[in-house]
Amino acid sequence: MPRRYVQLDVFASRPGAGNPLAVVLDAEGLDDAAMQAIAKWTRLPETTFVFPAVSDDATHRIRIFSPRREVPFAGHPSVGTAHALLDAGLIAPREGFVVQDGIAGKLPLKVNGEGAERTIAVRTPRARVQEIATPDDPRLRAALAGLDLGALPPVLMDGGRRWWLAELASETALRSATPNWDAIIALANATESMGLFVYARSDDPVYHFAVRAFVGAPAQFEDAASGAANATLAAWLAERDALPDQPGGFYRVSQGREVGHDAIIELSIDAEGDVWSGGRAVAVVTGMLDWPE
Amino acid sequence: MPHRYLQLDVFAARAGTGNPLGVVFDAGPMDTATMQALAAWLNLSETIFFLPPDPGADYRIRIFTPGSELPFAGHPSVGAAWTAVVHGLAIPRDGQLIQQCEAGLLPVEISGDHANPRVAVRSPRAKHLQDHAPLAGLDAIAVPGQAAALWNNGPSWWMVEAASAKALRGLKPDFSAIAAWTNATATTGVAMFALEPEADHDVVVRAFCPGDAVNVPEDPVTGSANALVGALLHAQGWLPGVDGRYIASQGRELGRDGRVHVRVDDDGQVWIGGQVQQVIAGTLDW
């Protein structure tokens, strides 16, 4: 039986610049083995499968698979799936929210705007300051050497995963920075953190900050679009009263250009102090998927 | 402007067992950089783009991996011919079509029902270049005393015959040793094969290319390597099957189960083909 299928680019400033995601819009009848096989076959970082909601307080139910295993929760697949469902007219926001049900429980997604301007955000785990350090801290010195640092001190944030955040003096300094990978790996291992997340204020008309995420452990790579790490930055900026002067604590971040991507991530802080992280998505492939049951 | 788009499973008796292929229709207005960016984003082993053919050809394609353009490749050509027939881009004459790709004009054979035809493409002529004692730890399961043979039909593969199909299926290859060998010899990879007479296939093939494709160190179903296995078996006079036709099994060790139909004709030319499953059909907006 053919099923509705969409392949989207999530957090993309233009097609091809974001995180790809496959969505099977009507997944009823597919068993776990078939979902895993499809997620392997699409060769994308994640494939989601949509089922009808089983309770009135959710708009839809999803399962998320990487090519290797089922993932209980992930931000960009949740955002992208909600975009695909709204595009197809299969769900509608209730008072500005849709509610996804899944293995990790029910999750509200905040919907702003319509059509090509629509953005969708997930609430991120509450992040807190773990430790404020100085640039000459022996654990940090090598990782920060050669970077043109900004005014705020380096800080270890904990938002489920731990990240060292460091402000750089300018967007130019950020974009031209060369990570010292050995030092970043050592820092990640010594402090049980993901690694180093650098940020700089920007004068760009579209985004307010440019960021780069250097993951030192468990693997070593520069991440193209980091929803959770950006949320810890928002919490840190709020703590220091350093958020851009925008209504609702809303601002945009540019990430990933240095690794061939060009993501735009939107952050906002609500009245309770919770950070929401999200963005747009653009459908690239729209059609039907025919997979034997 | 939206393009028609298909995602096929090639060399597959059922969806999910073969080698996926992205197919973009009406790509005449697309420039090379766009095709490359799209192939990278789709992240399939290959994506093909249909273009208006020049006189003398029935259809024209360009073939891209996520990293580069290929002049010719087997599984994209099989998928292209299948698409051309099933979606009416070309009408076979006497069971034949001429494919235009960057490597030139290539004949394609079409048989069976046009709603689900069987397709075979002629592989570029195979050349035996040199021999070498098997390296990279593969000598342990190779036929004793038999050299690894370097063959080329576009890509260059070191061909190593395994002493038994069981040993080949159970092999846990040392990818870093294979990468070192193939990089040092500027070759695509190592193709291992063994006769395995079973009901639905005759030969088992595994293709290791860790130096050429770091993210895909073992290819699930490989047209070029299978064509070289056919050429080598023909040259040695050990071709299994009937009338120069046999079926190879590849990819089971990777959770796939591809079937490649190989035929060596009277001129010693190797034709490869197989079944195609259409998994995704829709439009593509870029």
Residue B150 Cα, gap to closest chain A Cα (Å): 31
What is d(CA B21, CA A42) in angstroms, rounded to the nearest whole number? 10
List CB contacts of B140: < 8 A, sequence separation 6 or more. Answer: none
Closest B-chain CA to A6: B282
Across the interface, whether the CB atoms of B279 and A286 are under 8 A apart is answered no
Cβ-defined contact of B5 to A285 (cutoff 8 Å): yes
Q: How far apart, in whole angstroms, are the C-alpha atoms of residue B110 and residue B112?
A: 7
Interface check B286 vs A, CB under 8 A = yes
Residue linked to tokens 């190879």:
B248
**Residue A260: DSSP 8-state:** T
Q: What is the pLDDT of residues B17-30, one digit of tens each?
A: 999 999 999 999 99
Selected residue of B280, B283, B284, B286 to mutate for chain A interface (largest A Cβ count, 10 A):
B280
H helix or E strand, kind and range, residue A147: none
Q: Where are the beta strands (DSSP E) in chain A?
A: 2-10, 19-24, 47-51, 60-65, 70-71, 97-101, 107-112, 119-123, 128-132, 155-159, 161-167, 195-201, 209-215, 221-223, 251-255, 263-269, 275-279, 281-290
Question: Which of the residues B6, B7, B214 would you substitute to probe the A interface, choosing the one with the greatest number of A C-beta atoms within 10 Å?
Answer: B7
Residue type, A275: V
With beta carbons under 8 A apart, name residues in chain A contacting B255: 40
Q: Which residue of A has its CA nearest to B279?
A: A290
Structure tokens of B17? 């067992």
Q: Which residues of chain B have pLDDT under 70?
A: none
- Distance (Å) from the C-alpha of residue B50 to the closest C-alpha of chain A? 17
Taking CB atoms and an 8 Å limit, are A287 and B16 in contact across chains?
no
The amino acid sitting at A94 is R
* B39 touching A (Cβ < 8 Å): no
Q: In 10 A of CB B244, how many CB atoms? A: 17
Chain A touched by B255 (CB under 8 Å): yes
B281 touching chain A per CB within 8 A: yes
Q: Are strands A60-65 and A97-101 parallel, antiparallel or unpaired?
A: parallel
CB contact under 8 Å between A15 and B285, yes or no, is yes
pLDDT of A116 = 85
* For testing contact with chain A, the best of B17, B41, B44 (most A CBs within 10 A): B41
Taking the C-alpha atoms of residue B32 and residue A83, their distance in angstroms, rounded to an integer, is: 30
Whole-number Å distance between alpha carbons of B166 and B156: 26
Task: Identify all chain B residues contacting A9, using CB atoms and an 8 Å cutoff.
Answer: 41
pLDDT at B45: 87
Which pair of tokens denotes residue A131? 């430790």
Q: For residue A13, what pLDDT is reported? A: 76
Task: Using CB atoms, pick whichever of A16, A40, A289 lies closest to residue B280.
Answer: A289
Rounded-to-integer distance, Cα B184 and Cα B160, Å: 17
Residue contact B279–A9, C-beta within 8 A: no
Question: Looking at the complex, does the CB of residue B216 fall below 8 Å from at least one CB of chain A?
Answer: no
How far, in Å, CA of B228 to CA of B150, rounded? 10
Q: Is A136 exposed, middle or buried (0-12, 13-18, 19+ CB in 10 A)?
A: exposed
Residue A284 has its nearest CB partner, among B9, B40, B286, at: B286
Each of the 293 residues of chain A gets a pLDDT tens digit; together they read 899 999 999 998 788 889 899 999 999 999 999 999 999 999 998 999 999 999 999 999 999 999 999 998 888 899 999 999 999 999 999 999 999 999 989 999 999 998 888 999 999 889 999 999 999 999 999 999 999 999 999 999 999 889 999 999 999 999 999 999 999 999 999 999 999 999 999 999 999 999 999 999 888 999 888 888 999 999 999 999 999 988 878 999 999 999 988 999 999 999 899 999 999 999 999 999 999 87
Q: What is the pLDDT of residue A226?
A: 84
Select from B6, B36, B42 the residue whose CB has the most chain A CBs within 10 Å, as the one to mutate to test that interface: B42
pLDDT value, residue B205 = 98
The beta-carbon neighbor of A286 closest among B40, B44, B283 is B283
Q: How far is A2 from chain B (nearest CA, A)?
A: 9
Which residues from A are below 8 Å from B37, CB to CB? 16
Query: Quick check: A161 and A176 in contact, CB under 8 A?
Result: no
**CB contact B278 to A (< 8 Å):** yes
Chain B closest-CA separation from residue A248 CA (Å): 33
ipTM for this model? 0.85
In this complex, do A292 and B9 lie within 8 Å of one another by their Cβ atoms? no
Please tell me the distance from the alpha carbon of residue A175 to that of residue A183, in angstroms, as a whole number: 19
Does B221 contact chain A (CB < 8 Å)? no
- Closest CA–CA distance from residue B67 to any residue of chain A (Å): 13
Q: Which of B17, B81, B20, B16 is nearest to B249 (CA)?
A: B17
The answer to whether B281 contacts A287, with C-beta atoms less than 8 Å apart, is: yes
Q: Is the dihedral of CA A124, A125, A126, A130 positive or negative?
A: negative
Residues of chain A contacting B40 with CB distance shorter than 8 Å = 16
The pLDDT, as a whole number, for residue B216 is 77
Q: Which residue of A has its CA nearest to B14?
A: A292
Classified as helix, coil or strand, A117 is: helix
Q: Please give, one letter per residue, the 3-state secondary structure of chain B.
A: CCEEEEEEEECCCCCCCCEEEEEECCCCCCCHHHHHHHHHHHCCCEEEEEECCCCCCCEEEEEECCCCEECCCHHHHHHHHHHHHHCCCCCCECCEEEEEECCEEEEEEEECCCCCCEEEEECCCCEEEEEECCCCCHHHCECCCCCEEEEECCCEEEEEEECCHHHHHHCCCCHHHHHHHHHHCCCCEEEEEEECCCCCCCEEEEEECCCCCCCCCEECCCHHHHHHHHHHHHHHCCCCCECCEEEEEECHHHCCCEEEEEEECCCCCEEEEECEEEEEEEEECC
Q: How far apart are CA A230 and CA A165, in angstroms?
A: 10
The predicted structure's pLDDT at residue B233 = 96
Nearest to B43 among A38, A44, A290 (CB): A44
